[in-house]
Amino acid sequence: MNIERYPWDHQRRFNSYTEHIRKTFGGRMQKVVVDAGFTCPNRDGAKGTGGCTYCNNDAFNPSYCSPVESLQYQIGKGIRFHLVRYRRATKYLVYFQPYSNTYAPLKRLKELYEEALDFPNVVGLVIGTRPDCVDEEKLNYLRELAQKYYIQIEYGIESCYDKTLERINRQHDYALSEKIIRMTHKLGIKTGAHFIFGLPGESMEDMLAYANKISTLPLDSVKFHQLQIVKGTKMEHEFAASPDDFYQFSLEGYIKFIIKLVERLNPAIVIERFSGEVPPRFMTSINWDLIRYDAVLRLIEKELESQDTWQGKYYT
């Protein structure tokens, strides 16, 4: 394999987040998830109620974090949890993950973020939020933090289509996502985005077209997840009533789809994840034989090699 064919400095066939972090920090780094007790404007009535139709945050939260515990306690507990599995990790990013983690007055955000950054061996923050929960004042503050720490905002975009965003109760449009991503990037803050494949009403052609839309955005990184129907969500009932509205991926079909998408994706964008996992107790049905993400990743990399293809091969 000729490494010079890739615009990144490693031999994997996609722009890997693991390799990016290793280069950035000189070794392994681990994210520690915390739950600071935020909510979302489409939950509390500011814009709507019920939240996103696919969302049950309990299905994505690690067992070691809970908003009833202090931030310091959660960070310490999370680090101890990861020390068992990732003993080489010596540096940590505090990941504000559940719900919208900029949805509070700036004064409160400063208290939380700075408390997290004061914890030993914490070198930065990853902040999950919505594009309608930031403003210029908050972004300027994060720009200041980014002068000293690794600061990344991870925006839940989910779909590039307004018809889908309306159907899943996002309560904002795609144009706002584009605007906020460009604003965040312009301020020098690392900018990530999350997308879901298989949302109701979207065809294979619709989803493959994401590659062109994403590639035009000034994103540092992306996460891709296949849609999983989670218990306790509005989408659970929607799927039961109208399953034909959903494009349901088999494991093999999803891998083929991801290869086609990645071939068209801007090679400058780091890929953090190709798929998601939900604990079996939250799943409405067992699919993909409960295969773990590491195994999915190996299958994707094997297929990239088998087809002698790579991220951005057909990017223009």
Give the pLDDT score at 39.
Answer: 96
> Dihedral (C-alpha) 91, 97, 100, 102: value to the nearest 10 degrees?
-10
| Alpha carbon distance 244, 175 (integer Å) | 28
Q: Dump pLDDT digits (tens) for 189-230.
A: 999 999 999 999 999 999 999 999 999 999 999 999 999 999
The answer to whether residues 223 and 154 touch, using CB atoms and an 8 Å cutoff, is yes
pLDDT value, residue 1: 45
Query: Which amino acid would we find at residue 218?
Result: P
pLDDT for position 281: 84
* Cα–Cα dist 232/229, whole Å: 9
Neighbours of 107 (CB within 10 A): 7
- pTM for the full predicted model: 0.94
Q: How far apart are CA 35 and CA 95, in angstroms?
A: 9
Please report the pLDDT score of residue 84 as a whole number.
76
Q: E strands along 18-129, which residues? A: 29-34, 91-96, 122-129
Residue ranges of the chain with per-residue pLDDT less than 50: 1
Q: What's the first-to-final CA gap in the chain, in angstroms? A: 23
Domains of the chain, with CATH numbers? 3-306 (3.20.20)
User: Is the four-CA dihedral 143, 36, 277, 54 of positive or negative sign?
Assistant: negative
Closest CA to 235 of 179, 209, 196: 196
In this predicted model, what pLDDT tens digit does every residue of 135-175 receive, in sequence order? 999 999 999 999 999 999 999 999 999 999 999 999 999 99
